[in-house]
Structure 1
Protein backbone atom coordinates (compact mmCIF):
# COMPACT_ATOMS: atom_id res chain seq x y z
CA UNK A 1 0.00 0.00 0.00
CA UNK A 2 2.88 2.40 0.65
CA UNK A 3 3.87 2.25 -3.01
CA UNK A 4 0.33 2.76 -4.30
CA UNK A 5 -0.06 6.23 -5.81
CA UNK A 6 -3.84 6.58 -6.25
CA UNK A 7 -6.68 5.65 -3.89
CA UNK A 8 -10.47 5.87 -4.07
CA UNK A 9 -12.45 4.61 -1.10
CA UNK A 10 -14.68 5.35 1.87
CA UNK A 11 -12.98 6.03 5.19
CA UNK A 12 -14.78 5.61 8.51
CA UNK A 13 -13.17 6.69 11.79
CA UNK A 14 -13.76 5.52 15.34
CA UNK A 15 -12.23 6.52 18.68
CA UNK A 16 -11.91 3.79 21.29
CA UNK A 17 -10.14 2.84 24.50
CA UNK A 18 -7.86 -0.16 24.97
CA UNK A 19 -10.67 -2.40 26.27
CA UNK A 20 -12.72 -1.75 23.15
CA UNK A 21 -9.61 -2.16 21.00
CA UNK A 22 -9.04 -5.65 22.41
CA UNK A 23 -12.62 -6.65 21.54
CA UNK A 24 -12.27 -5.29 17.98
CA UNK A 25 -8.96 -7.13 17.45
CA UNK A 26 -10.56 -10.37 18.65
CA UNK A 27 -13.43 -9.92 16.17
CA UNK A 28 -10.96 -9.15 13.39
CA UNK A 29 -8.86 -12.26 13.91
CA UNK A 30 -10.78 -14.62 11.55
CA UNK A 31 -11.11 -11.95 8.85
CA UNK A 32 -7.96 -9.80 8.85
CA UNK A 33 -4.18 -10.25 8.77
CA UNK A 34 -1.36 -7.75 9.30
CA UNK A 35 -0.64 -5.67 6.22
CA UNK A 36 2.66 -5.97 4.36
CA UNK A 37 3.83 -2.96 6.35
CA UNK A 38 2.16 -3.93 9.61
CA UNK A 39 3.66 -1.15 11.74
CA UNK A 40 4.72 2.33 10.70
CA UNK A 41 5.90 5.47 12.43
CA UNK A 42 4.18 8.00 10.20
CA UNK A 43 5.35 11.59 9.89
CA UNK A 44 3.41 14.31 8.05
CA UNK A 45 3.90 17.94 7.15
CA UNK A 46 0.51 19.53 6.47
CA UNK A 47 0.55 22.48 4.09
CA UNK A 48 -1.71 25.46 4.60
CA UNK A 49 -1.97 29.20 4.10
CA UNK A 50 -0.91 31.63 6.86
CA UNK A 51 -4.56 31.95 7.94
CA UNK A 52 -5.17 28.16 7.79
CA UNK A 53 -7.60 28.38 4.89
CA UNK A 54 -7.58 24.67 4.02
CA UNK A 55 -8.23 23.30 7.50
CA UNK A 56 -10.79 25.97 8.36
CA UNK A 57 -12.67 25.02 5.21
CA UNK A 58 -12.36 21.32 6.02
CA UNK A 59 -13.83 21.78 9.51
CA UNK A 60 -16.92 23.39 7.97
CA UNK A 61 -17.72 19.91 6.55
CA UNK A 62 -18.32 20.99 2.96
CA UNK A 63 -19.33 18.61 0.17
CA UNK A 64 -15.80 18.90 -1.26
CA UNK A 65 -12.55 19.49 0.61
CA UNK A 66 -8.87 18.85 0.10
CA UNK A 67 -5.59 18.70 2.01
CA UNK A 68 -1.96 18.71 0.96
CA UNK A 69 0.78 17.02 2.95
CA UNK A 70 4.27 15.59 2.74
CA UNK A 71 4.45 12.12 4.30
CA UNK A 72 7.16 9.65 5.26
CA UNK A 73 6.97 6.22 6.86
CA UNK A 74 9.67 6.64 9.47
CA UNK A 75 12.41 9.22 9.77
CA UNK A 76 13.35 10.68 6.36
CA UNK A 77 16.60 12.48 5.67
CA UNK A 78 17.01 15.40 3.32
CA UNK A 79 17.56 13.21 0.24
CA UNK A 80 15.31 10.30 1.24
CA UNK A 81 12.10 9.68 -0.75
CA UNK A 82 8.86 10.99 0.73
CA UNK A 83 5.31 11.17 -0.58
CA UNK A 84 3.76 14.44 -1.68
CA UNK A 85 0.03 13.85 -1.31
CA UNK A 86 -3.15 15.58 -2.43
CA UNK A 87 -6.11 14.19 -0.50
CA UNK A 88 -9.63 15.06 -1.63
CA UNK A 89 -13.01 14.16 -0.20
CA UNK A 90 -16.23 14.49 -2.18
CA UNK A 91 -19.61 13.21 -0.96
CA UNK A 92 -17.86 11.02 1.65
CA UNK A 93 -15.59 9.33 -0.93
CA UNK A 94 -11.87 9.84 -0.34
CA UNK A 95 -9.51 10.27 -3.31
CA UNK A 96 -5.77 10.34 -2.66
CA UNK A 97 -3.14 11.17 -5.27
CA UNK A 98 0.57 11.19 -4.54
CA UNK A 99 4.05 11.10 -5.97
CA UNK A 100 7.31 9.87 -4.46
CA UNK A 101 10.09 12.44 -4.44
CA UNK A 102 13.22 13.19 -2.33
CA UNK A 103 12.40 15.40 0.64
CA UNK A 104 14.68 18.25 -0.46
CA UNK A 105 13.08 18.27 -3.91
CA UNK A 106 9.59 18.25 -2.40
CA UNK A 107 10.43 21.30 -0.29
CA UNK A 108 11.95 23.02 -3.34
CA UNK A 109 8.74 22.40 -5.29
CA UNK A 110 6.64 23.73 -2.41
CA UNK A 111 8.56 27.00 -2.11
CA UNK A 112 8.77 27.49 -5.88
CA UNK A 113 12.47 26.80 -6.43
CA UNK A 114 11.76 23.74 -8.55
CA UNK A 115 8.91 22.72 -10.92
CA UNK A 116 6.67 19.78 -10.13
CA UNK A 117 6.98 16.52 -12.05
CA UNK A 118 5.56 16.62 -15.57
CA UNK A 119 2.99 13.94 -14.81
CA UNK A 120 -0.77 13.94 -14.21
CA UNK A 121 -0.36 13.98 -10.44
CA UNK A 122 2.51 16.48 -10.65
CA UNK A 123 0.31 18.83 -12.66
CA UNK A 124 -2.53 18.43 -10.14
CA UNK A 125 -0.16 19.35 -7.32
CA UNK A 126 1.14 22.33 -9.28
CA UNK A 127 -2.39 23.57 -9.98
CA UNK A 128 -3.43 23.22 -6.34
CA UNK A 129 -0.34 25.07 -5.10
CA UNK A 130 -0.97 27.88 -7.60
CA UNK A 131 -4.67 28.04 -6.72
CA UNK A 132 -4.18 28.53 -2.98
CA UNK A 133 -0.88 30.42 -3.14
CA UNK A 134 1.27 31.00 -0.06
CA UNK A 135 1.03 27.33 0.95
CA UNK A 136 3.79 26.27 3.31
CA UNK A 137 4.33 23.59 5.98
CA UNK A 138 2.06 24.60 8.84
CA UNK A 139 2.04 21.59 11.20
CA UNK A 140 4.17 18.50 11.80
CA UNK A 141 1.94 15.58 12.79
CA UNK A 142 3.10 12.07 13.68
CA UNK A 143 1.61 8.83 14.97
CA UNK A 144 2.27 5.13 15.34
CA UNK A 145 0.14 3.00 12.99
CA UNK A 146 -0.73 -0.70 12.96
CA UNK A 147 -2.26 -1.84 9.66
CA UNK A 148 -4.38 -4.84 8.66
CA UNK A 149 -5.96 -6.06 5.40
CA UNK A 150 -8.83 -8.40 4.71
CA UNK A 151 -8.11 -12.07 4.08
CA UNK A 152 -10.82 -12.46 1.44
CA UNK A 153 -11.19 -8.79 0.52
CA UNK A 154 -7.72 -7.24 0.24
CA UNK A 155 -9.27 -3.83 -0.43
CA UNK A 156 -10.58 -3.83 3.13
CA UNK A 157 -8.01 -2.11 5.34
CA UNK A 158 -8.11 -1.27 9.03
CA UNK A 159 -5.55 0.89 10.77
CA UNK A 160 -5.05 1.84 14.42
CA UNK A 161 -3.28 5.12 15.19
CA UNK A 162 -1.83 5.95 18.60
CA UNK A 163 0.62 8.46 20.09
CA UNK A 164 -0.75 11.17 17.77
CA UNK A 165 1.28 14.34 18.27
CA UNK A 166 1.72 17.67 16.52
CA UNK A 167 4.00 20.68 16.65
CA UNK A 168 4.69 23.90 14.75
CA UNK A 169 8.47 23.89 15.23
CA UNK A 170 11.09 21.78 13.38
CA UNK A 171 8.86 21.29 10.34
CA UNK A 172 10.90 18.51 8.79
CA UNK A 173 10.48 14.76 8.48
CA UNK A 174 13.98 13.91 9.68
CA UNK A 175 13.48 14.86 13.34
CA UNK A 176 12.05 13.05 16.36
CA UNK A 177 8.30 12.79 16.89
CA UNK A 178 8.05 15.06 19.92
CA UNK A 179 5.05 17.37 20.16
CA UNK A 180 1.67 17.96 21.75
CA UNK A 181 -0.51 14.85 22.26
CA UNK A 182 -3.90 15.07 20.55
CA UNK A 183 -5.69 12.09 22.10
CA UNK A 184 -6.20 11.49 25.84
CA UNK A 185 -4.05 8.71 27.35
CA UNK A 186 -5.33 5.23 26.51
CA UNK A 187 -7.28 6.26 23.42
CA UNK A 188 -6.77 4.95 19.87
CA UNK A 189 -8.12 6.05 16.49
CA UNK A 190 -9.35 3.27 14.20
CA UNK A 191 -9.85 3.92 10.49
CA UNK A 192 -11.79 1.54 8.22
CA UNK A 193 -10.98 1.95 4.54
CA UNK A 194 -13.43 0.19 2.29
CA UNK A 195 -14.80 0.26 -1.25
CA UNK A 196 -18.37 -0.07 0.02
CA UNK A 197 -20.09 -0.56 3.37
CA UNK A 198 -18.88 -2.08 6.63
CA UNK A 199 -18.50 -5.86 6.92
CA UNK A 200 -21.32 -7.34 8.98
CA UNK A 201 -18.96 -8.78 11.59
CA UNK A 202 -17.42 -5.34 12.15
CA UNK A 203 -20.82 -3.69 12.45
CA UNK A 204 -21.71 -6.24 15.15
CA UNK A 205 -18.63 -5.66 17.30
CA UNK A 206 -18.91 -1.88 17.00
CA UNK A 207 -22.53 -2.08 18.17
CA UNK A 208 -21.70 -4.47 21.02
CA UNK A 209 -18.87 -2.25 22.26
CA UNK A 210 -20.74 1.04 21.89
CA UNK A 211 -18.20 2.40 19.40
CA UNK A 212 -19.61 5.09 17.14
CA UNK A 213 -18.39 6.69 13.94
CA UNK A 214 -16.72 10.08 14.33
CA UNK A 215 -15.62 12.81 11.94
CA UNK A 216 -12.31 13.14 13.79
CA UNK A 217 -9.54 14.84 11.79
CA UNK A 218 -5.97 14.71 13.10
CA UNK A 219 -4.96 17.98 11.47
CA UNK A 220 -8.32 19.48 12.42
CA UNK A 221 -7.78 18.53 16.07
CA UNK A 222 -4.27 19.99 15.93
CA UNK A 223 -5.56 23.25 14.45
CA UNK A 224 -8.27 23.56 17.11
CA UNK A 225 -5.69 22.95 19.83
CA UNK A 226 -3.39 25.56 18.27
CA UNK A 227 -6.19 28.14 18.38
CA UNK A 228 -7.10 27.22 21.96
CA UNK A 229 -3.50 27.44 23.16
CA UNK A 230 -3.02 30.70 21.29
CA UNK A 231 -5.96 32.17 23.20
CA UNK A 232 -4.53 30.89 26.47
CA UNK A 233 -0.95 31.81 25.62
CA UNK A 234 0.09 28.25 26.48
CA UNK A 235 2.30 25.51 25.08
CA UNK A 236 2.32 21.94 26.35
CA UNK A 237 4.95 20.03 24.43
CA UNK A 238 5.85 16.58 25.69
Structure 2
Protein backbone atom coordinates (compact mmCIF):
# COMPACT_ATOMS: atom_id res chain seq x y z
CA UNK A 1 0.00 0.00 0.00
CA UNK A 2 1.69 3.18 -1.22
CA UNK A 3 0.60 5.97 1.13
CA UNK A 4 2.01 8.67 3.36
CA UNK A 5 2.77 7.39 6.85
CA UNK A 6 3.79 10.55 8.76
CA UNK A 7 1.83 13.82 8.87
CA UNK A 8 2.36 17.18 10.62
CA UNK A 9 -0.18 19.91 9.92
CA UNK A 10 -3.06 22.06 11.10
CA UNK A 11 -6.53 20.65 10.58
CA UNK A 12 -9.29 23.27 10.55
CA UNK A 13 -12.90 22.12 10.51
CA UNK A 14 -16.09 23.78 9.32
CA UNK A 15 -19.69 22.55 9.48
CA UNK A 16 -21.66 23.72 6.45
CA UNK A 17 -24.81 23.18 4.44
CA UNK A 18 -24.91 21.56 1.01
CA UNK A 19 -25.52 25.01 -0.49
CA UNK A 20 -22.38 26.36 1.17
CA UNK A 21 -20.43 23.32 -0.02
CA UNK A 22 -21.53 24.01 -3.61
CA UNK A 23 -20.25 27.58 -3.28
CA UNK A 24 -16.87 26.36 -1.97
CA UNK A 25 -16.59 23.80 -4.77
CA UNK A 26 -17.21 26.50 -7.40
CA UNK A 27 -14.67 28.86 -5.83
CA UNK A 28 -11.94 26.20 -5.61
CA UNK A 29 -12.13 25.01 -9.23
CA UNK A 30 -9.18 27.15 -10.48
CA UNK A 31 -6.97 26.12 -7.57
CA UNK A 32 -7.75 22.55 -6.49
CA UNK A 33 -7.88 19.11 -8.11
CA UNK A 34 -9.32 15.83 -6.87
CA UNK A 35 -6.99 13.34 -5.19
CA UNK A 36 -6.03 10.21 -7.11
CA UNK A 37 -8.61 8.40 -4.99
CA UNK A 38 -10.99 11.34 -4.82
CA UNK A 39 -13.88 9.52 -3.14
CA UNK A 40 -13.55 6.95 -0.38
CA UNK A 41 -15.71 5.21 2.17
CA UNK A 42 -13.62 5.52 5.32
CA UNK A 43 -14.07 3.08 8.19
CA UNK A 44 -12.45 3.44 11.60
CA UNK A 45 -12.18 1.43 14.77
CA UNK A 46 -11.37 3.79 17.65
CA UNK A 47 -9.48 2.14 20.48
CA UNK A 48 -10.13 3.05 24.08
CA UNK A 49 -10.15 1.69 27.61
CA UNK A 50 -13.34 0.21 29.13
CA UNK A 51 -13.81 3.57 30.90
CA UNK A 52 -13.30 5.55 27.64
CA UNK A 53 -10.28 7.28 29.14
CA UNK A 54 -8.82 8.58 25.86
CA UNK A 55 -11.93 10.31 24.59
CA UNK A 56 -12.86 11.70 28.02
CA UNK A 57 -9.41 13.25 28.29
CA UNK A 58 -9.67 14.59 24.75
CA UNK A 59 -13.01 16.27 25.45
CA UNK A 60 -11.38 18.14 28.35
CA UNK A 61 -9.37 19.98 25.65
CA UNK A 62 -5.88 19.52 27.12
CA UNK A 63 -2.78 21.02 25.50
CA UNK A 64 -1.77 17.50 24.41
CA UNK A 65 -4.11 14.68 23.46
CA UNK A 66 -3.98 11.52 21.40
CA UNK A 67 -6.20 8.92 19.74
CA UNK A 68 -5.40 5.40 18.59
CA UNK A 69 -7.42 3.89 15.74
CA UNK A 70 -7.51 1.38 12.90
CA UNK A 71 -8.56 2.73 9.50
CA UNK A 72 -9.45 1.34 6.09
CA UNK A 73 -10.54 2.98 2.88
CA UNK A 74 -13.44 0.73 2.00
CA UNK A 75 -14.43 -2.67 3.35
CA UNK A 76 -11.46 -4.62 4.68
CA UNK A 77 -11.33 -8.34 5.46
CA UNK A 78 -9.24 -9.77 8.26
CA UNK A 79 -6.33 -10.42 5.88
CA UNK A 80 -6.63 -7.06 4.08
CA UNK A 81 -4.09 -4.29 4.74
CA UNK A 82 -5.36 -1.51 7.03
CA UNK A 83 -3.73 1.40 8.84
CA UNK A 84 -2.91 1.39 12.54
CA UNK A 85 -2.76 5.06 13.47
CA UNK A 86 -1.55 7.13 16.39
CA UNK A 87 -2.96 10.66 16.11
CA UNK A 88 -1.59 13.32 18.44
CA UNK A 89 -2.49 16.99 18.82
CA UNK A 90 -0.27 19.49 20.59
CA UNK A 91 -1.07 23.21 20.65
CA UNK A 92 -3.36 22.91 17.59
CA UNK A 93 -0.78 21.05 15.49
CA UNK A 94 -1.80 17.54 14.41
CA UNK A 95 0.82 14.78 14.22
CA UNK A 96 -0.24 11.48 12.70
CA UNK A 97 1.90 8.34 12.61
CA UNK A 98 0.69 5.14 10.99
CA UNK A 99 1.74 1.82 9.56
CA UNK A 100 0.03 -0.67 7.29
CA UNK A 101 -0.61 -4.27 8.36
CA UNK A 102 -3.29 -6.92 7.80
CA UNK A 103 -6.30 -6.23 10.02
CA UNK A 104 -5.88 -9.57 11.82
CA UNK A 105 -2.26 -8.72 12.72
CA UNK A 106 -3.22 -5.26 13.99
CA UNK A 107 -5.89 -6.75 16.27
CA UNK A 108 -3.39 -9.34 17.53
CA UNK A 109 -0.85 -6.59 18.26
CA UNK A 110 -3.45 -4.63 20.19
CA UNK A 111 -4.51 -7.67 22.23
CA UNK A 112 -0.90 -8.63 22.94
CA UNK A 113 -0.99 -11.90 21.00
CA UNK A 114 1.99 -10.73 18.95
CA UNK A 115 4.42 -7.81 19.12
CA UNK A 116 4.18 -4.67 17.04
CA UNK A 117 6.72 -4.44 14.17
CA UNK A 118 10.21 -3.40 15.23
CA UNK A 119 10.07 0.00 13.52
CA UNK A 120 9.92 3.54 14.91
CA UNK A 121 6.16 3.81 14.37
CA UNK A 122 5.66 0.25 15.59
CA UNK A 123 7.49 1.14 18.80
CA UNK A 124 5.32 4.24 19.27
CA UNK A 125 2.15 2.18 18.87
CA UNK A 126 3.54 -0.46 21.26
CA UNK A 127 4.25 2.22 23.85
CA UNK A 128 0.76 3.73 23.52
CA UNK A 129 -1.03 0.39 23.85
CA UNK A 130 1.17 -0.60 26.80
CA UNK A 131 0.73 2.79 28.49
CA UNK A 132 -3.06 2.61 28.51
CA UNK A 133 -2.99 -1.09 29.34
CA UNK A 134 -6.44 -2.20 28.23
CA UNK A 135 -7.06 -0.72 24.79
CA UNK A 136 -9.52 -2.48 22.50
CA UNK A 137 -11.90 -1.45 19.70
CA UNK A 138 -14.60 0.69 21.34
CA UNK A 139 -16.46 2.39 18.48
CA UNK A 140 -16.91 1.77 14.76
CA UNK A 141 -17.15 5.09 12.88
CA UNK A 142 -17.57 5.55 9.13
CA UNK A 143 -18.13 8.34 6.63
CA UNK A 144 -18.00 9.18 2.94
CA UNK A 145 -15.12 11.49 1.96
CA UNK A 146 -14.29 13.58 -1.10
CA UNK A 147 -10.68 14.79 -1.09
CA UNK A 148 -8.81 17.51 -3.02
CA UNK A 149 -5.34 19.07 -3.07
CA UNK A 150 -3.95 22.28 -4.53
CA UNK A 151 -2.71 22.21 -8.13
CA UNK A 152 0.76 23.64 -7.46
CA UNK A 153 2.36 21.84 -4.52
CA UNK A 154 -0.28 19.49 -3.14
CA UNK A 155 0.50 20.74 0.37
CA UNK A 156 -2.93 22.31 0.89
CA UNK A 157 -5.70 19.72 1.15
CA UNK A 158 -9.48 19.87 1.56
CA UNK A 159 -11.87 17.07 2.46
CA UNK A 160 -15.66 16.94 2.64
CA UNK A 161 -17.20 14.31 4.92
CA UNK A 162 -20.84 13.22 4.85
CA UNK A 163 -22.89 10.32 6.23
CA UNK A 164 -20.86 10.20 9.44
CA UNK A 165 -22.20 7.29 11.52
CA UNK A 166 -21.07 5.25 14.50
CA UNK A 167 -22.00 2.13 16.42
CA UNK A 168 -20.65 0.04 19.31
CA UNK A 169 -21.26 -3.48 18.02
CA UNK A 170 -19.79 -5.41 15.06
CA UNK A 171 -16.39 -3.84 15.69
CA UNK A 172 -14.62 -4.89 12.51
CA UNK A 173 -13.77 -3.11 9.27
CA UNK A 174 -15.31 -6.00 7.31
CA UNK A 175 -18.93 -4.91 7.79
CA UNK A 176 -21.54 -2.47 6.55
CA UNK A 177 -21.61 1.19 7.56
CA UNK A 178 -24.93 1.28 9.41
CA UNK A 179 -24.99 3.26 12.61
CA UNK A 180 -26.25 6.33 14.41
CA UNK A 181 -25.82 9.51 12.30
CA UNK A 182 -23.80 12.40 13.71
CA UNK A 183 -24.78 14.98 11.07
CA UNK A 184 -28.11 16.15 9.70
CA UNK A 185 -28.99 15.25 6.08
CA UNK A 186 -28.08 18.79 4.91
CA UNK A 187 -24.79 18.99 6.82
CA UNK A 188 -21.23 18.53 5.54
CA UNK A 189 -17.98 18.58 7.53
CA UNK A 190 -15.16 20.30 5.66
CA UNK A 191 -11.56 19.95 6.85
CA UNK A 192 -8.72 22.15 5.66
CA UNK A 193 -5.32 20.51 6.11
CA UNK A 194 -2.47 22.98 5.87
CA UNK A 195 1.07 23.45 7.19
CA UNK A 196 0.92 27.26 7.16
CA UNK A 197 -1.49 30.06 6.28
CA UNK A 198 -4.66 29.51 4.27
CA UNK A 199 -4.65 30.67 0.62
CA UNK A 200 -6.22 34.09 0.10
CA UNK A 201 -8.98 32.72 -2.14
CA UNK A 202 -9.95 30.26 0.61
CA UNK A 203 -10.12 33.03 3.21
CA UNK A 204 -12.37 35.00 0.85
CA UNK A 205 -14.85 32.19 0.27
CA UNK A 206 -15.01 31.43 4.00
CA UNK A 207 -15.88 35.08 4.60
CA UNK A 208 -18.44 35.21 1.80
CA UNK A 209 -20.20 32.07 3.04
CA UNK A 210 -19.97 33.12 6.69
CA UNK A 211 -18.19 29.90 7.61
CA UNK A 212 -16.48 29.76 11.00
CA UNK A 213 -14.17 27.04 12.28
CA UNK A 214 -15.56 24.49 14.69
CA UNK A 215 -13.99 22.00 17.10
CA UNK A 216 -16.14 19.12 15.85
CA UNK A 217 -14.60 15.73 16.77
CA UNK A 218 -16.15 12.67 15.17
CA UNK A 219 -15.22 10.28 17.97
CA UNK A 220 -15.98 12.94 20.59
CA UNK A 221 -19.43 13.54 19.11
CA UNK A 222 -20.04 9.80 19.01
CA UNK A 223 -19.11 9.46 22.68
CA UNK A 224 -21.35 12.36 23.70
CA UNK A 225 -24.20 10.81 21.70
CA UNK A 226 -23.60 7.48 23.42
CA UNK A 227 -24.25 9.09 26.79
CA UNK A 228 -27.82 9.95 25.79
CA UNK A 229 -28.63 6.99 23.51
CA UNK A 230 -30.33 3.79 24.75
CA UNK A 231 -27.89 0.98 25.61
CA UNK A 232 -24.86 3.20 25.11
CA UNK A 233 -25.34 3.83 21.43
CA UNK A 234 -26.38 0.43 20.09
CA UNK A 235 -29.88 1.37 18.90
CA UNK A 236 -31.52 3.59 16.32
CA UNK A 237 -29.32 2.66 13.37
CA UNK A 238 -29.82 4.66 10.18
**Structure 2 residue ranges without an equivalent (≥5):** none
Cα distance in structure 1, aligned partners of 2:34 and 2:233: 43
Partners of 1:232 and 1:133 in 2: how far apart?
23
Of 223-232 and 70-79, deviating more is 223-232
CA RMSD across the alignment = 1.5
Residue number in structure 2 paired with 1:220 = 220
* Superposition pairs of residues 184-223 of structure 1, within 5 angstroms: 184-223=184-223
Structure 1 residue aligned with 2:132: 132
1:225 to 1:120, Cα distance in 2 relative to 1, 3 A = same
- Cα 1:234–1:166, aligned 2, differ >3 Å: closer, same or farther? closer
The 2-side partners of 1:188 and 1:128 are apart by 32
- Normalising by structure 2, we get a TM-score of 0.97
- Separation in structure 1 between the aligned mates of residue 106 and residue 232 of structure 2, nearest angstrom: 35
Number of aligned positions between the proteins: 238
- Counting only pairs closer than 5 Å after superposition, residues 8-87 of structure 1 correspond to structure 2 as 8-87=8-87
1:41: Cα distance to partner?
0.4
Q: Secondary structure at the match of 1:155?
A: coil
* Counterpart residue number, 1:146: 146
Q: Work out whether residues 168 and 234 of structure 2, in 8 Å CA contact, stay in contact via their aligned partners in 1.
A: no
SS at match of 1:95: strand
Q: 2:114 matched to which residue of 1?
A: 114
Cα shift at 1:231: 8.4
Q: Flag the 1:232–1:164 CA change in 2: closer, same or farther, 3 A.
A: closer
8 Å CA contact retained: 2:226, 2:232? no
Instruction: Give ranges in structure 1 of 5+ residues lacking alignment.
Output: none
CA separation in 1, counterparts of 2:2 and 2:158?
14
Moved over 3 A (4+): 230-234
The Cα shift of 1:232 comes to 9.1
